[in-house]
Amino acid sequence: MENIEIARTLDEVADLLEIRGANPFRVRAYRTAARTVGALERPVPDLLASDPGALEALPGIGADLAGKITDLAKTGRLPLLGQLTRKTPESLVAMLRLPGVGPKRARLIYEKLGVRTLAGLERAARAGTLSTLPGIGPTIEQTILKGLQQDQARGGRFPLAEAEAYVHPLVEALRAAPGVRQVEIAGSMRRRSETVGDVDILVAVSRGSEAADRFVHFADVEEVMAEGPTRCAVRLRSGLQVDLRLVPQASYGAALHYFTGSKAHNIAIRRRGVRRKLKVNEYGVFRGSRRIGGRSEAEVFRAVGLPYIPPELREDRGEIEAAERGALPRLVELTDIRGDLQMHTVYSDGRQALPDMVRACAERGYEYIAITDHTQAVRVAGGMGRAGFRKQAREIERVQKAHATPVILKSAEVDILEDGALDLDEETMAELDLVVVSVHSKFNLTKAQMTRRIVTALKHPRVHVLGHPTGRLLGRREPYPVDMAEIVKVARDYGVLLEVNAQPERLDLSDLHIAMAREAGVKLVISTDAHRTDELRWMAYGVDQARRGWCTASDIANTRDLAGFRALLRK
């Protein structure tokens, strides 16, 4: 099993244990293990092959869980999951995906109303019977109903990082196949869209290639949907559909362009071709019957009078007009990032100690970092008050003596309370180098109330950054209602930076909101919100998101050196 599948299995066990009222510490242990495994850079089987005791050395994984994960990696099965599944109605598990429904509410709805399916849950919500149950009022009932509608609309889409984890081993297998010259993932994954419906893989092959055979017989394939000389399609065990396109080298660039761009982008490029009496398709660029380009994407763009357009911009949102004017931005790159400005340690809900996080950031070559543990309002995260932050500050000073770089900024992720007040006293905030503020509760406020709440916080003179500004969790929780145009305006007027949270389940801000902020002149920061060292690699997803919002390095505050970054904090 791939790491992402092991993590999903452990999360399912945690869900089922919670539904059945198991010990909270046991539930949390499985969730911690799921997050740890999901963040690992090395596949679990490789880790075990080099060191059989490696799992037990990971934070939050003891001998018992290490044994279960080892069995999962080797056999693909976990007997405990089977036992719990047989004892738990399937509808209860399905309900857990919905906002407003936790394990306790799912069981209450099942037992009191006899709801057995999501369709039955929708009927109960529309009839108003959910709100008759204790702890479920009309507001939560409407939240559940909206969540059901959104769940249906999402269909079978996967978060980008999850889809990538499933597809990466398949791509590596194809690269090793005889007769394969080039392999590239195309489609929405190459455009770095935040969710992926299916995946297109493009392969330039020579005669006698074994790519198609290797593709359809890959170990993770559950169903072969099509098999032919130029196209194969499979469904993986995860449910993700993957299409393979096999093309000659002469058509590779044209096919890569065709299968990467959005439908609207491709139509616009073909229209430009028609005006030049050219035909542009996946086989090449043709004048009459003569091919005049198509070996590379640059040839395709050049044929229609344009410079190369980065994949992330190919959405028909003005990129063609900008290219025509010579006004395409030089997009920010991962190597431009000089520091990570949100991460957590064992002082709150992080899983590793402060020195571990600092060492890992030093290995990444960062010039500066911010340690942003939670304040007290986030009880489940074990947040701190004044004494806790002062104790942490003393440790930061000790650790800093051992590390010339990165410079460790004393920071906090301060909760924005319902009325817009901040969950940390003025004196403690005055001692911090960086104050990040975020919303972690009361998501059911009206749009006006939530906007007022956040605006009040942004106007506080100690606030530097608004963390994960819309509160969304991809596939699990929609953004809370908020007037982003107003938030952007206030952030600009009060010198507050907006965060692009790189956690794969957040990617918050969205690409459209990033573009809105950039056009308004608001500076952004890209942060991982890492809770362990392996999660620091998520910075790449934040950079992808910023690129989709047309950001250059100058738009991102943490591409500056420390002196330049500090200058931005002087509000």
**334-388 pLDDT tens trace:** 999 999 999 999 999 888 899 999 999 999 999 999 999 999 987 766 789 999 9
User: How many structural domains are present in the chain?
Assistant: 4
DSSP-derived secondary structure letter, 475: T
pLDDT tens for each residue of 89-108: 766 777 776 766 777 778 78
Q: What is the pLDDT of residue 12?
A: 82
pLDDT at 522 over 70: yes
| Residue 288 belongs to domain with CATH number | 3.30.210.10
Contact 298, 246 (CB under 8 A): no
CATH code, domain with 106: 1.10.150.110
Query: Is residue 467 packed enough to be buried (19+ CB in 10 Å), middle (13-18) or exposed (0-12)?
Result: buried
Is residue 511's pLDDT more than 80? yes
| DSSP β-bridge partners for residue 408 | 369
Q: Running DSSP on this structure, what letter comes out for residue 311?
A: G
Is residue 16's pLDDT more than 90? no
- 407 φ/ψ angles, rounded to the nearest 5 degrees: -70, 130
Name the 3-class secondary structure at 372: coil
Q: Are residues 136 and 167 in the same domain?
A: no
Q: Is 289 left (phi over 0), alpha (psi -120 to 50) or beta?
A: alpha
Q: Are residue 199 and residue 174 in the same domain, yes or no?
A: yes
Q: Among residues 204, 224, 247, which one ends one of the domains?
A: 247
Residues 262, 368 share a domain: no
pLDDT greater at residue 33 or residue 342: 342
> What single-letter DSSP state applies at residue 132?
G
Q: What CA–CA distances, in Å, run from 59 to 69, 70, 346, 350, 534?
A: 14, 16, 10, 10, 11
Identify the bridge partners of residue 502 per DSSP, sorted by sequence position: none
- What is the model's pLDDT at position 336? 98
Q: What is the mean pLDDT of residues 35-55?
A: 81
Residues above pLDDT 90, as percent of the chain:
60
Evaluate the omega torsion of the peptide bond into residue 469 and state whether it is cis, within 30 degrees of 0.
Answer: no
pLDDT at residue 237 is higher than 90: no
> Are 446 and 430 members of one domain?
yes
* Beta partners for residue 205, in sequence order: 180
The answer on 409 and 275 residing in a single domain is no
3-state helix, strand, coil in the chain (%, to 5): 50, 15, 35
Strands 195-196 and 198-205: unpaired
Are residue 356 and residue 387 in the same domain, yes or no? yes
Higher pLDDT, 128 or 422: 422
CA angle 198, 200, 202 (to 5 degrees): 170
Residues 11 and 101 in one domain: yes
Is pLDDT larger for residue 211 or for residue 367?
367
Domain that holds residue 131: 3-154
Last residue of a domain, one of 264, 296, 325: 325
> What region does 221 belong to: left with phi over 0, alpha with psi -120 to 50, or beta?
beta
From the number of C-beta atoms within 10 Å of its C-beta (0-12, 13-18, 19+), residue 158 rates as buried
At 43, the pLDDT band (50, 70, 90 cuts) reads: confident
pLDDT value at residue 1:
67
H-type alpha helices, 88-137: 90-95, 103-113, 118-127
Query: What does each C-alpha distance from 121 to 2, 34, 154, 399, 408 come to in angstroms?
Result: 33, 29, 18, 53, 49
Of 200, 209, 142, nearest in space to 171 by CA: 200
Q: How far apart are CA 221 and CA 230, in angstroms?
A: 19
Q: What is the distance in angstroms between the CA of the first residue and the CA of the last residue of the chain?
A: 50
Same domain, 500 and 549: yes
Output the pLDDT for position 37: 83
Q: Is 88 helix (H, G, I), strand (E, B) or coil?
A: coil
Q: Are residues 51 and 200 in the same domain?
A: no
Written as six digits, the tokens of 380 are 């489940």
Q: How far is 212 from 244, CA to CA, in rounded Å?
A: 8
As given in the structure block, the two tokens for residue 269 are 């490029």
Domain boundary among 154, 181, 213: 154
Average of per-residue pLDDT values in the chain: 90
pLDDT at 541 over 90: yes
Q: Which of 45-54, 233-242, 363-372 has the lowest mean pLDDT?
A: 45-54
Rounded to a whole number of angstroms, the CA Rg of the chain reads 25
| CATH number of 172's domain | 3.30.460.10
Same domain, 317 and 362: no
Segment among 120-129, 152-161, 239-248, 323-332 with least mean pLDDT: 152-161
Which pLDDT score is estimated for 152? 62
DSSP string, 415-429: EB-TTS-BSS-HHHH
Residues 137 and 165 in one domain: no
Residue 454 shares a structural domain with residue 514: yes
User: Which residue carries 């299916």 as its tokens?
Assistant: 198
Among 16-25, 387-396, 456-465, 483-492, which stretch is predicted with the lowest mean pLDDT?
A: 16-25
Higher-scoring residue by pLDDT: 379, 472: 472
